[in-house]
Amino acid sequence: MSKSLQDKVIIVTGAGRGIGREIALLCAAEGAKVVVNDPGGAADGAGSNAAPAEEVVEEIKKRGGTAVANFESVAEAIPASKIVKTATDAFGRLDGVVNNAGILRDMIFHKMSVEAFEAVIKVHLMGSFYVSHAAARIFREQESGSFVHFTSTSGLIGNFGQANYAAAKLGIVGLSKSIALDMGRFNVRSNCVSPFAWTRMIGTIPTETEAEKARVEKIKQMGPEKIAPLCGYLISDSAKDVTGQIFGVRMNEIFLFSQNRPIRSVQRSEGWTPQSIAEHGMPALKGSFYKLDRSADIFTWDPV
């Protein structure tokens, strides 16, 4: 059976553990040469440790694959550009980037510190930009390449205590769409994946009530290895016509998410006043309002 990523060079950020690790292992198994990036910090981004990335590289080599480790942070432009340089120095080219690196600093909004907000934005949103921006010049010159960015239902739908994470993850959707629009002429693709999987980061979800404990037990069934196949596909040439989309993976389900479009309108030939909006405009639109749903309110069935 032919390998879908034979001889492609792929960067996977945050690849030392969890979803990133599984993506790196799958890409290598499919024939790719992989840059395993991970500074090895804690779930909140603190500290560093070379071991996670090195262990994934060793595992890939043990299975007959090819990989190198990189320990730079995605949260600053110059270190992020060195991740891309690692790929070109080691393997002479670059074909795909999976922007998976992330941290969590959850806190209810009025108690969230400025530092906690900025730190999460830096890793998720700015990190996705920094790595993608460094790779974009290579992709433009060779007129090929694929980006896979990670979003979340915390941004797409909503969640408590995650204003920083939700803002970053919805920002990544806009970033991905802009890359798809701007770089389509160079045969460069960009898509988002919203994963449902039990990882170290999800392990920070509170489990104080029985309902919360039951929810976490369901999430634990969803291994990070379930996310990797879609990412491998999106990086491959088989996905040459797939760009600008938002996908979700939940156990054995793959979702295509909707994107923002007008759903209802009201019009007055004489124009609007605050009073006429209150009396006519808003009541006419109110039937189409979205409720303050969270991810768990929308995904109400068990993983399959």
Tokens representing residue 195 in the block: 């994963």
Specify the residue for token string 């939700």: 166
Nearest-Å Rg of the Cα atoms of the chain is 21
Closest CA to 188 of 179, 198, 196: 179
Residues 6+ apart with CB under 8 A from 54: 69
Tokens representing residue 303 in the block: 């993983």
Enter the DSSP assignment of 110.
G
In 10 A of CB 101, how many CB atoms?
Answer: 27
Provide the strand spans (E) within 60-159.
Answer: 66-70, 96-99, 145-150
Provide the strand spans (E) within 197-304.
Answer: 246-250, 253-256
CA–CA gap between residue 31 and residue 44 (Å, rounded): 33
Q: How far is CA 292 from CA 78, 148, 151, 278, in A?
A: 39, 28, 19, 21
Residues 6+ apart with CB under 8 A from 111: none
Find the catalytic residue in 130, 165, 233, 290. Answer: 165
Closest CA to 116 of 167, 79, 159: 167
User: Active-site residue 165, yes or no?
Assistant: yes
In 10 A of CB 231, how many CB atoms?
Answer: 29
Give the active site residues: 165
